[in-house]
Amino acid sequence: MCGIAGIIYKDGEHPIGSEMTRMLQSMKHRGPDSTGYALYGQPSNLVIMRYKLADANTPRDFEYEDRLRRHRAEVERRLAALGAHVKELEEETEYAFRVTLEYSGDLKRLADFVEDVPDVEVLSLGHSLEIIKDLGDAETVAGGYHLSDFNGTHAIGHVRMATESDVDISGAHPYWAYPFSDVAVVHNGQLTNYFQWKRRLERSGHRFQSECDSEIIAVYLAEKMSEGSTLEEAMRQSLDDLDGVFTYICVTKDALGVAKDEMAAKPLVLYEADDLVAIASEEIAIRAILDHEIETYDPYEGEVLVWQR
Amino acid sequence: MAAVGESAINYDARGLAEPDAAVPKVSEIDGTSAEFDAHDLSTRQINLELRWLINEQGITDVTVRNPGAKHSLGVGILTRCKITFDGSLGYFGCGIIDGPEVHIKGRVGWSSCENMMSGVVVIDSNAGSLTGAAFRGGDLVVKGRVGARTGIDQKGGTIIVMGSAGSMNGFMMQRGRQIICGDVGHGLGDSRYDGTIYVGGKVRSLGIDCVPGEWTDADTEFIERKFRIYDLGAPPALQKFVCGKKLYNYDNLEPSERKLVL
């Protein structure tokens, strides 16, 4: 089933970490397996990279801790080798890290070089995007990653009921649009032409971190935008190019957009005010941050809506 | 783990929920009327309170304050009474009801009034997809817009929508009537068996076996009567759509009779 949510403010920063947690926790019944966030903080000249050295359910064998230490040291060595100066390195969990870098080189090269270290996966890379995802419900993940203090302008989130791939962090949403900076997607539905698009995008030089069809959407949109399309144009084109049932939310450094397929088989409720747009699979998620009567509606099939922060 | 605004739920050894089944008994009762605040109550507690008031306390007029868009409120009410939700409902609201007169002063989510058998539901704002699915009888009035597949598998009754509607409205409709005052999406009345759909706005496309119907005085009388009852003003100019009766077998024979004839 899965549940998705998005929020974008037009009047500056707000406590989007705690707000998205309340939205996602209220939809726990739609997916208790994993929870993920894409949060946009204050844009910076520095590069923010979130990466993990292992999965939450990686077997804790006798070598586990030693392997983490070696791989962590190797990541840091490779960052230095590329000329990326580490300004700050935070250990969020024993296997998940947030690093702030001074780096002006190619982000794809950076991501590829870091991910070449065994078991390492770059979860997000950009100047304001931070993707946090792990197993468990929203309160568990938010507590583990200290998200209650996160302020920013926009965010998306996802609660996952695993159906077509494993219960692990790689299968959790949101998906960063590797290797494009600051683009992420959450998706509710199934793409039936997943393998066609995966092969096409792989032939264009992209690689995928998961076996999940939703990752296709992120890379597809980012590639369109890198070719000159606006977010809205890319999303409208996706309605023709992607088969299946889907409602997805895409975020960039300054915008949030939503698209529904022609069948409108997956739900989405929209609330729009002068200073705020909030969307979710269920109104109860929006009411988790707006505890009063509000005017909401369901966007129709084939609709694409985009808001700027 | 309890959801936001919900009370704690215990789980048995099989992982099945064992929610608190105690009636909260928080209503303010005045003769045959009652009112209570649902803000801090779970879905189960709200429905238990409603049933306790209506079935055991002889209450005929209940107001529920702060329903908070929670799911599955007001389901399975099988008697004549008046219920007012002073706010929005989530998914599956007022399903399988038989008799009550319900006023929702807000919006409803997906699948509201599913399998409704009789009574009246008036929704002041919008409704999600699958509104009135398998609708059997009574009147459902949505003063805003509705999502896709409204009245899917409708078997009777009347659904009135003052705004627009999404795709596949009246899909596999069997009987009853829909009045959609605004535009409708793709596949109107697709694969229907019978029933009548009136549309005031643009029709994006007709579904299989959905065809324009001939307007009669009975149509005018029916629509004006419904608009008068619910104080909806003057009805707009409407187009009528019926079943072309080409897709399925319409010989009116029961399967056992068909065996004898054939």
| C-alpha distances in Å from residue B147, one per residue of A26, A146, A244, B135, B202 | 23, 38, 19, 16, 16
Nearest chain A residue to B146 by CA: give it.
A298
Question: Coil, strand, or helix at residue B221?
Answer: helix
Give the position of tokens 């939703």: A214
Contact A301 B145 (CB under 8 A): no
Chain A residues with CB under 8 Å of B72 CB are none
Q: How many CB pairs under 8 A join A and B?
A: 77
Per-residue pLDDT band for B13 (boundaries 50, 70, 90) equals: confident
Residues in contact with B92: Cβ distance below 8 Å, sequence separation at least 6, in sequence order = B71, B72, B75, B109, B110, B111, B112, B114
Look up residue A11 and give its two tokens: 């009047």
> Is 80 exceeded by the pLDDT of residue B194?
yes
Chain A residues with CB under 8 Å of B148 CB are 263-264, 300-301
Chain A residues with CB under 8 Å of B88 CB are 283, 293-294, 296
> Considering only CB atoms, which residues of chain B are within 8 Å of chain A?
1, 3-5, 68-71, 87-88, 90-91, 106-107, 109-110, 125-126, 128-129, 144-145, 147-148, 166-167, 185-186
Q: What secondary structure letter does DSSP report for B54?
A: I
Give backbone dihedrals phi and psi of A113, rounded to 5 degrees, phi first. -65, -40
pTM of the entire predicted model = 0.91
A147 contacts A17 by C-beta, under 8 angstroms: yes
Give backbone dihedrals phi and psi of A129, rounded to 5 degrees, phi first. -75, 135
Per-residue pLDDT band for B8 (boundaries 50, 70, 90) equals: low
Q: Is the Cα dihedral A285, A287, A290, A295 positive or negative?
A: positive
Closest chain B C-alpha to A27 CA, distance in angstroms: 8
Q: Is A212 a catalytic residue?
A: no
pLDDT tens for each residue of B14-33: 777 666 678 999 999 999 99
Chain A residues with CB under 8 Å of B69 CB are 282-284, 286-287
Q: How much is the mean pLDDT over chain B? A: 92
Task: List, edge to edge, every strand of the sheet that includes A96-102.
Answer: A85-91, A96-102, A47-52, A121-126
- A264 closest CB neighbour out of B107, B129, B144: B129
Q: Is the Cα dihedral A74, A79, A85, A86 positive or negative?
A: negative
- What pLDDT score was predicted for residue A170? 87
Q: For a pLDDT cut of 70, what percent of chain B falls above it?
A: 91
> Is 80 exceeded by the pLDDT of residue B256?
no
- A301 closest CB neighbour out of B4, B90, B185: B185
Per-residue pLDDT band for B140 (boundaries 50, 70, 90) equals: very high
Nearest chain A residue to B71 by CA: give it.
A284
Q: What secondary structure letter does DSSP report for A29?
A: G
Nearest chain B residue to A270 by CA: give it.
B128
- Single out the residue of B158, B177, B128 nearest to residue A301, CA to CA: B128
- What pLDDT score was predicted for residue B258? 65
Closest chain A C-alpha to B103 CA, distance in angstroms: 15
- What pLDDT score was predicted for residue A263? 86
Q: What secondary structure letter does DSSP report for B136?
A: -
**Residue spans of beta strands (DSSP E) within A53-192:** 85-91, 96-102, 121-126, 129-135, 154-160, 175-176, 184-191
Helix (H) and strand (E) counts for chain A?
Answer: 8, 15
> Is 50 exceeded by the pLDDT of residue B1?
no
Residues in contact with A232: Cβ distance below 8 Å, sequence separation at least 6, in sequence order = A257, A304, A306
| C-alpha distances in Å from residue B173, one per residue of B165, B203, B213 | 16, 17, 15
Q: For a pLDDT cut of 90, what percent of chain B falls above it?
A: 84
- What pLDDT score was predicted for residue B262? 58
Please state, in angstroms and rounded to a whole number, the distance separating the CA atoms of residues B149 and B112: 12
Contact A264 B125 (CB under 8 A): no
Chain A residues with CB under 8 Å of B68 CB are 284, 287, 291
Closest chain A C-alpha to B83 CA, distance in angstroms: 18
A186 contacts A3 by C-beta, under 8 angstroms: no
Contact A297 B145 (CB under 8 A): yes
- What pLDDT score was predicted for residue B102? 98
Looking at the complex, does the CB of residue A33 fall below 8 Å from at least one CB of chain B? no
Report yes or no for ipTM above 0.90. no
Helix (H) or strand (E) holding B227: helix B217-229
One-letter amino acid identity for A35? Answer: T
> Which parts of chain A sit beneath pLDDT 70?
none
Please state, in angstroms and rounded to a whole number, the distance separating the CA atoms of residues B203 and B184: 5
- What pLDDT score was predicted for residue B261? 64
Contact B88 A301 (CB under 8 A): no
- What pLDDT score was predicted for residue A143? 96
Contact B148 A301 (CB under 8 A): yes
